């Protein structure tokens, strides 16, 4: 008499998961080997990525500074927003 604790579907899912882990491990081993063989190339690629991200951060920072500059120079006697009216509704309790 054979007792099966796992269904065929669960067995297939386990095999697919194991295959995914195996492929991921092989890819990581391959990347490690490439980095070992070509360290200058990967250092250059990392430098390009960091440089590009740094330029992007600088551009965003300049845009934020320029957009905030317009609000700081606004005349305080006129207020920040034009044509804005504050309505106060009074609710009377009975």
| pLDDT of the residue at 94 | 60
pLDDT tens-digit readout, 10-29: 778 888 999 999 999 999 99
Count Cα neighbours of 10 within 13 Å in the Cβ-side half-sphere.
Answer: 4
> Which ranges of 38-90 would DSSP assign to H, the alpha helix?
39-72
pLDDT tens-digit readout, 31-74: 899 989 999 998 999 999 999 999 999 999 999 888 888 655 55
What pTM, to 2 d.p., does this model score? 0.49
Q: How far apart, in whole angstroms, are the C-alpha atoms of residue 25 and residue 31?
A: 10
Q: How far apart, in whole angstroms, are the C-alpha atoms of residue 24 and residue 17?
A: 11
Q: What residue ranges do the domains of the chain occupy?
A: 8-37, 39-73
């Amino acid at each position: 008499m054979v007792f099966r604790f796992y269904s065929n579907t669960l067995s297939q899912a386990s095999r697919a998961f194991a295959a995914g882990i195996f492929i991921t491990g092989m890819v990581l081993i391959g990347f490690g080997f490439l980095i070992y063989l070509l360290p200058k190339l990967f250092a250059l690629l990392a430098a390009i990525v960091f440089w590009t991200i740094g330029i992007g951060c600088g551009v965003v920072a300049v845009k934020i500074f320029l957009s905030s500059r317009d609000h700081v120079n606004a005349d305080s006697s006129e207020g920040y927003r034009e044509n804005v009216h504050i309505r106060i509704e009074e609710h009377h309790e009975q």
